[in-house]
Amino acid sequence: MNSRSATALSRSGMALSIVLLAACAGNGDGLDANGQPLVPGGSAPSPLSADFESIQENIFTPICSVCHAGASAPEGLRLDAADSYNLLVGVPSTEVPSLDRVKPGDPTDSYIIQKLQGHAAVGAQMPDGCPTTQPCLSATTIGFIQQWIMNGAPPAAATATAAQSAPLAVTSIVPDNMEAVNAPPPQVMVAFNHELDVSQLSTLSAHFEKLATAATSTVIAQVPAQISVSSANLRALMIWPAAPLSAGHYRLVTDATSATQISDIGGQQVALGAPDERGETVISTFDIEALP
């Protein structure tokens, strides 16, 4: 189901770690001594504008790609170009679930801003090491992120334009199929290129199955799931386990009586998952590694 383009894959190391809504963030190497972002490969501050594409490329990518990328991203918060928007906008933070990581129109109550400014209720100021061993983002730089949020936190213009002419499709799943993650994911995110018809959610249900081994389909435990789509981002379907998942091999499947097609607001449909040997529709299969 994952149809990322070669361009998105080449940028999968990008990560918006400055938010560190989990326990790790970028190390500030993309900042000069005044907390201004550096041009990749250069030493002069890069021009910024208050749009997501500029912020991703000029702030998030060069400064924060150390931790929040791939299967090892803390709290499942992958902030590469393919996944960052969908895991930020309208998504509750894991440190303070009452606050969204990015709340469109409200930078004050967006957890990303609290982490960058250093007054969040949990954890230290970001980027990691700021201000003792690394520079912090300057107020001017943070201001571009604040303005983007105040403007409604729209996605990158190029992403929105490309989606208009393409058929409804799944663009990414986190955790992706057959990935091994080093901590229980707080949710599985299924991203689409169109806004979804949320009225369909009442016909969709799913659960997590823990299997005896990756080589067998013997189910040793089931965990119910809750499904939601944030009104701030209708392109991201979030599936939350009702209880924390322990180490082991899992698959996320739709319930027997559940719909297996997802529709966008224009009525287009796409299959959610694929049937397995037992006839269940599998959305994602992943391993949670035991922590040392």
pLDDT by residue (tens digit) across 141-153? 999 999 999 999 9
Report the pLDDT value the prediction gives residue 36, as an integer from 0 to 100: 59
Q: Tell me the per-residue pLDDT of 117-132, one tens digit each, with 9 for 90 and over.
A: 999 999 888 877 888 8
Report the pLDDT value the prediction gives residue 10, as an integer from 0 to 100: 34
| Cα 242 to Cα 209: distance, rounded to the nearest angstrom | 12
Q: Tell me the per-residue pLDDT of 37-83, one tens digit each, with 9 for 90 and over.
A: 555 444 444 588 999 999 888 887 777 767 778 887 777 778 788 88
Q: Tell me the per-residue pLDDT of 87-102, one tens digit each, with 9 for 90 and over.
A: 899 999 988 999 999 9
| Cα 90 to Cα 57: distance, rounded to the nearest angstrom | 21
Q: What is the dihedral of CA 271, 276, 282, 285, to 10 degrees?
A: -130
Distance in angstroms between the alpha carbons of the first and the last residue of the chain: 32
| Cα 219 to Cα 285: distance, rounded to the nearest angstrom | 13
166-288 folds as: Immunoglobulin-like (2.60.40)
| Domain residue extents for the chain | 52-150, 166-288
Average pLDDT of the residues of the chain? 82
Report the pLDDT value the prediction gives residue 212, as an integer from 0 to 100: 95
Q: Tell me the per-residue pLDDT of 104-115, one tens digit each, with 9 for 90 and over.
A: 999 999 999 999
Q: Tell me the per-residue pLDDT of 261-288, one tens digit each, with 9 for 90 and over.
A: 999 999 999 999 998 877 789 999 999 9
Q: Is the pLDDT of residue 1 over 50?
A: no
Q: Tell me the per-residue pLDDT of 205-240, one tens digit each, with 9 for 90 and over.
A: 999 999 998 888 899 999 999 999 999 999 999 999
Of 127, 201, 159, give the one whose Cα is nearest residue 51: 159
